[in-house]
Structure 1
Amino acid sequence: MIKIKPLIVILSIFILCTNLSCNDDDDHSGNYQLNVSSTKKINDFISSIEDNDRGMGSVSIFIGDQQVYSRSYGYADIDTKLKANNNTIYKIGSVSKTFTATVIMRLIEEKKLTLDTKLSKFYPQIPNSNQITIEYLLRHKSGVIDFTSDPDYLTWYTQPQTKDYLINRLTLGSDFPPGTQTLYCNSNYLLLAYIAEDVSNQSYSNLIKKYISIPCKLSRTGEGDVINIHNNEANSYLRAGNGWKLDKETDKTVSIGAGSIATTAYELNVFYNNLFSCKIVSKNSLNLMKEIINGYGLGLTQFNADGEIGIGHRGAIDGFYTAVFYYPQYGVTISILTNASNYFVDDMMKGILSIYLNKPFDLPVFKKPLDLKSEDLDKYLGNYTSQTFPYPITVSKRNNILVVNIAGLLEYEPICYEPNVFVYESLGAVFTFIPQENKMRLFYGQQEYIYNRVNK
């Protein structure tokens, strides 16, 4: 769940299809160990991110069911200089969807639901609900509109909202006929959380405890609430010029099911290890979860790390960015939880895995931002539209900081490392301006989009 950032959710994740099974043949952890040299290089990699003020967070690596590496860097809270450590709790955004899918599969195993159960049984007021199945919700094939894309979403996401209020938001239309397309949508998992509560007569929070936290012996995992730094819970931050600013908090009633879980890097790996070892769901359930169709399993996706395929999920909510992927061919699970990021988490995942596998990997060389004056930004300002990307972009400035606003919903402050090129690294987004032609190129998600300036 990304604040739930539409820039990510509307872009396709490049995913390969595979069918993994829950058996000992998948786990080759005995063939790969983290040696002293690799440990040092991973430390050097993370230190370079910390020393160049490119992010803060925690990393955990499991081989099989054992943690072989952990590292925390930066602050859980900048104001009090509270350092992050291995017990620091982070909100994990859309990685919560793996938790929700696990709960749903357990309820299916208990015969309280099936993958074919219709949404109309619970919420008939939602358009096409008599055609929307539990499986369509899990696989993002429902066509339900995404409430996080509402034009006024940023005016209410930090406040508690009732179920009736959010359900009513989903009655206002449909994106496509159910089953005809696949489109990532946070509303799907909000509905799954509500359905889980309805059929169990328990709260979503209690279901997470019952099916995950208790059997996995997780003491620092559950629904996140208002952040409490005295409980070693990390605040989240967004890049602001050359520094960081405290981000707002999405209320858990808004992110329930889709992005409300908070945990530590260690406990996230414990959960994934239990899941992929068939300790909290059956082998049949796990195989269904891992079956990738049009980019999505049931609460799982895949990640291509330079040819190495992992299965797991990414997540982003407020200033938190998370990635956790299990690589069955090596028996390794890597979790990266950040509360401030100016370095693409995907690149961290690729780098750490490459080092672990003793593949060639050069530590990043970070450029220093250019020292721009306010008047230097004037040539970039204006409104931009694209024929290939549906959201208009407004470029303005705040003193000597460039401000990029996407569709009036999202605001970023990318950094300039070379003339006319501004980078927002936590998203891996690059804005390249061609002011003499009134154009801008947005590079994101392995694709480039051309924007034309329509007025200054």
Structure 2
Amino acid sequence: MSTKKHSLLTGLLLAVGLGAASLLAPGLSMAAAQQTQAVTSANVTIGGQVIAWATSPQIYRGVTYVPLREAAERLGAEVKWNSAKRAAELRVHGDTILHRTGTDLFSVNGDPLRTGGSSFDRGGVTLVPLRALAEVLQADVGAVASGGTVNVSLMSDGVTIRSSETELADRYLIAQQYSGITLIAKGDQILLRKGYGYDGENRLVRADRKSRLGSLTKSFTAAAVMKLAEEGKLRLDEPLESYFPGFPGGERITVHLLLSHLSGINPNFPREANYSLLDTIEAIRSKPLLVEPGSKFIYSNSGYVVLAGIIEKASGMSYGEYLKQSFWEPLGLSGTGEAKPSVPVIQGYVSAGDQLWAPAGPYISQSGTGTLYSTVNDMLTWIASFETERVLRSSSITQMFTSYSEKNYGYGWMIRQENGGTRVFHNGSGTGYATGMSRELGGGYTLILLGNHSGMDTLTLMTELRKRLP
């Protein structure tokens, strides 16, 4: 299915099933579910507070409705009448949301979002489907039925953060039709954490969701190699031949050259769902070198796949288990792991031409180069850990943040001297995703972009965002 860019799925239906039965809490008994078919009234609380509604929520044709202005304001939005658009205008976290009474359409920053249930006027008050309003305001909904009443609790968006310092950056992302999740921090203080665009056909992107990382995965792979070196389980000057005999030039390709993209190994490898890590390494081994090891920087996904194999051989553990033991658990990165179908992440989208986007198919990668998922909060903790010795020694971090070629690439990071300081950064991509991460060492800005549209130039986005920060 294709849609207008950032206007994904114009016929969007929001899980507003909106019959009282659709508001049941998980696990409600069948008897209770049957009882809800006769629900005729709704009690709606916001933030745990009982509301003295001027216009009471009501059930209409099996749908729970709430007064637009009253509910939206209590959920933190500013509401006014837009006479030019002849619509109610809601503003929250920098977003502009429009709705015209009598329609099932909300416009979020100019993009249509259809709810499947039209609003209506009752005595001069616009009543809208509760779940539709909760979706556009990214509020949480909980409900349980009792007798002929459904008791609904609404909690305002407690995840999104937008400070005055990041107002220009936020406006820029909206203008660029960026889709995905963004975090901006200065030091340890989060200044912007926000979702943009659509996450599948039934919801907007929320800022606390998991996303594929693309090549931001390489920072974990490089750190794992350095951890194993600290543990005395490998050396950076060891040849590839010691781990995987028979590679072209394997006696001259060292772990250091693999980390710094100076190995000369062909960067391409087969991306087959049924290929194991060893199968993929065998396919990489069958290709001739592109250049003499150490002679030229060639960004090589294949090199980092091979590093994942070395990590497994040196540690005696799987790639993911070693990362979990060494980094994810010590740092509390509970939202980070190896991608698999059972772990939901934000929906990725690929270009379908003429500013059209379609849901991406399976994103197949291999350990070491692009297999991980994470959240923006976890990635902030991860990049901040490199300014401590929580998981790596300072000497190892210095090696990672040292440039080894004219491309200013270290181990899993690019390094640049700017404004009298050091900035480390990387970008990534994969089917349906485009990512980027940057940190100014010593208390400067951190930028994290976990985008869900293929092809976005996240390096340029990060450069432009930085220009719009104090």
Question: Which TM-score bucket, shorter chain as reference?
Answer: 0.5 to 0.7
Match of 1:107 in 2: 228
Q: 1:38 to 1:194 in 2, by over 3 A?
A: same
**The one of 270, 274, 280 aligned to 1:160:** 274
CA distance in 2, matches of 1:99, 1:247: 25
- 8 Å CA contact 2:181–2:450 kept in 1: the answer is yes
Compute the displacement of 1:311 (Å). 0.7
In the TM superposition, residue 286 of structure 1 has moved relative to its aligned partner by: 0.4
1:318 aligned to 2:431? yes
Corresponding residue of 2:4: none
Matched, 1:63 2:170: no
Say whether 1:45 aligns with 2:45.
Answer: no
- 2:395 aligned residue: 284
1:66-145 correspondence runs (5 A): 66-77=189-200, 79=201, 81-145=202-266
Of the candidates 329, 338, 346, which is equivalent to residue 234 of structure 1?
Answer: 346
| Structure 1 Cα separation of the partners of residues 172 and 280 of structure 2 | 42
**Secondary structure of residue in 1 paired with 2:199:** strand
SS in structure 2 of the partner of residue 278 of structure 1:
coil
CA 1:82–1:300: 2 relative to 1, 3 Å:
same
Q: What's the CA shift string for 1:11-51, capped at 9, x where partnerless? A: xxxxxxxxxxxxxxxxxxxxxxx9954332222222323xx
The one-letter code matched in structure 2 to 1:175 is L
Q: How does 1:133-212 map to 2 (within 5 A)?
A: 133-148=254-269, 153=270, 157-169=271-283, 170-212=285-327
Contact 1:125-1:171 at 8 Å conserved across structures: no
1:296-319 deviation line (CA, Å, top 9, x unaligned): 101111368899862121111112
Question: In structure 2, what is the Cα distance between the partners aligned to 1:300 and 1:221?
Answer: 19
After TM superposition, give the deviation of residue 334 of structure 1 in Å: 0.9
8 Å Cα contact 2:277-2:367 kept in structure 1: no
Q: Distance in 2 between matches of 1:312 and 1:247?
A: 26
Q: 1:249 aligns with which of 321, 346, 362?
A: 362
Deviation at 1:167, TM superposition (A): 2.3
Deviation (angstroms), 1:356: 1.5
User: Structure 1 residues 343, 182: CA separation in 2 closer, same or farther (over 3 Å shift)?
Assistant: closer
Structure 2 Cα separation of the partners of residues 308 and 237 of structure 1? 36
2: distance between equivalents of 1:219 and 1:186?
26
Deviates more, 1:60-69 or 1:89-98: 60-69
1:178 is paired with a residue whose SS is coil
The farther-off stretch of 294-303 and 99-108 is 294-303
Name the SS for the 1:55 alignment partner: coil
- Partner of 1:40, secondary structure, is helix
Q: For residue 72 of structure 1, report the CA deviation from its aligned partner.
A: 0.8
1:316, 1:112 → 2: CA distance? 31
**What code does the residue aligned with 1:83 have?**
L
Shift of 1:117: 1.3
* SS of structure 1 residue aligned to 2:209: coil
TM normalised by structure 1 equals 0.63
Residue 174 of structure 1 aligns with an amino acid whose one-letter code is L
- Look up the equivalent residue of 1:193 and give its one-letter code: A
Q: C-alpha deviations, 1:69-109, integer Å up to 9, x for none?
A: 211111222x2x22211221111111111000011100000
Of 367, 371, 379, which aligns to 1:268?
Answer: 379
Say how many residue pairs are matched.
306
Q: Which amino acid aligns with 2:263?
A: S
Counterpart CA distance in 1 for 2:219 and 2:449 is 15
Residues 334-345 of structure 1 mapped to structure 2, 5 A cutoff: 334-340=447-453, 343-345=456-458
Q: Cα offset for 1:261? A: 1.1
**How has the CA–CA distance of structure 1 residues 282 and 304 changed in structure 2, closer, same or farther, with 3 Å as cutoff?**
closer
Distance in 2 separating the partners of 1:261 and 1:281: 20
Identity %: 25
Distance 1:227 1:82, change over 3 A: farther
More displaced 10-residue stretch of structure 1: 310-319 or 160-169? 160-169
The corresponding residue for 1:4 is: none
Corresponding residue number in structure 1 for 2:446: 333
Q: Does the 8 A contact of 1:158 with 1:248 survive in 2? A: no
Query: d(CA) in 2 for partners of 1:329 and 1:273?
Result: 10
TM-fit CA distance, 1:192 = 0.7
- Distance in 1 (CA, whole Å) between partners of 2:195 and 2:469 is 18
> Counterpart of 1:351?
464
SS of the aligned residue for 1:47 comes to helix
Q: Rg bigger for which structure?
A: 2
- Aligned residue identity for 1:116: D
Structure 1, unmatched stretches of 5+, are: 1-33, 358-456
Higher relative contact order (CA closer than 8 Å, sequence separation 6+): 1
- 1:325 maps to amino acid: S
Q: CA deviation at 1:283?
A: 0.4
**In the alignment, which residue of structure 2 is the partner of 1:214?**
329
**Secondary structure of 2:437's aligned partner:** strand
Q: Distance in 1 between matches of 2:278 and 2:234?
A: 22
Tell me how far apart the structure 2 counterparts of residues 142 and 328 of structure 1 sit (CA, whole Å).
Answer: 28
Change (3 A) 1:198 1:320: same
In 2, Cα distance between equivalents of 1:67 and 1:214: 22
User: Is the Cα–Cα contact under 8 Å of residues 289 and 297 in structure 1 kept in the other structure?
Assistant: yes
Displacement of 1:55 in angstroms is: 3.1
Residues 1:163 and 1:330: Cα distance change in structure 2 (over 3 Å): closer
